[in-house]
Structure 1
Amino acid sequence: MRLSDYKINTKLIIAFTIVALIGASLGAYAILNMKRINDADTRLYAQELVGLSLMKEANFERQRMIVAIRDALIATDAALRDDAFTRIGKAREQSQTLMNQAAPLFSTDEGRAGMAKLKEEWSGYLASVTEIEKLIKVSDMATSNPALVYLKGTLLPTSNQTGAAMTALSKLKEVEAKEVSDGNDALYQQRSGAR
């Protein structure tokens, strides 16, 4: 039988069925692509952005350790030196904790290799920190002078305030990124009808 042998009613039903099947296929294809985009967005936030943030914070704590070492070196009395040693210990512990939290988020071979290298470098760094602590403990206290007074009284407070402002902005960007990711998830759920 040829197409011209069918009644117009049958021809219309066949045509509408073909158009509906094409539309359904395109819809299914679009939903699958939306899911891929949603999954990539979720991974971007949960693994990449969080991992970046944790490593940034671990490095910041390492820098705090360096500042505390400097403070121990320039301490003019035992109380200031003891406070600096306390801050070295806290920064060391916090940096290690943050690196441990970030480690599982490095899932590529390159990321795992980088974490292995970091672990090796970190061990050497901690040994150096321990050695400088020993050397500082047996060194004479610094003598107060105008540069140390200015450093402690003016430069350090403004530097700390600037660092706090930078940290606040970093944390704000993390919150905003999470909100965008959550919004994209909700939009995907709403548009796809998935629950």
Structure 2
Amino acid sequence: MTPPEDTETRHAAKMAKKKAARDKIMAGKAGEKGLIIVHTGTGKGKSSAAFGMILRCIAHGMPCAVVQFIKGAWDTGERRLLTANFGDLCQFHAMGEGFTWETQDRARDIAAAQAGWERAKELIRDPDLHMILLDEINVAIRYEYLDIAEVLDFLANEKPPLTHVVLTGRNAHEDLIAAADLVTEMTLVKHPFRSGVKGQPGVEF
């Protein structure tokens, strides 16, 4: 059996080596930039993770904004929390009217998405806003309610250099993924919906 002191010594040496390597990497990271961040994939948690980032901004006193492209008709917990408690730091714009199978009106869905995008552009142009969350915009792009080329051109040419923009929703366009600085794909492993359990407050909304 290895003596405890030998195990501790080896562990300390291993961690010291890791720290030295990490410090060397971090020494070369000095710049800051506004990121294009994409949360996509079939798994749950895309919007939840994005709202976690919004709450971080709020905790740091950084002004931010949310534009919801699809779930605008929903009474969600995040909407209640942000509008009731943090309206001074976070603007919240619910522009969507529900999923396309609920409205069953393509022209109406396109109009809502276009209105959301116009609002999003106004917010992104504001250099005082630290982060803008475009919730479920990937769905609007997928159904061609919005032109991906226009979205990418705007982000490339009009987004202030230190502004972060987060775009959520499954099936993110490959061109958006290529242009993004940070992409996370949520992978579905297991979901209660498949076992007959409906969406529940505090979990899904």
**Same fold, TM-score > 0.5, yes or no:** no
Q: State the TM-score bracket (shorter-chain normalisation).
A: under 0.3
Normalising by structure 2, what TM-score? 0.24
Judging by fraction of residues, say which structure has more strand.
Answer: 2
Instruction: Give the TM-score, by structure 1 length.
Output: 0.25
Task: Give the structure with higher Rg (CA).
Answer: 1
Higher helix fraction (1 or 2): 1
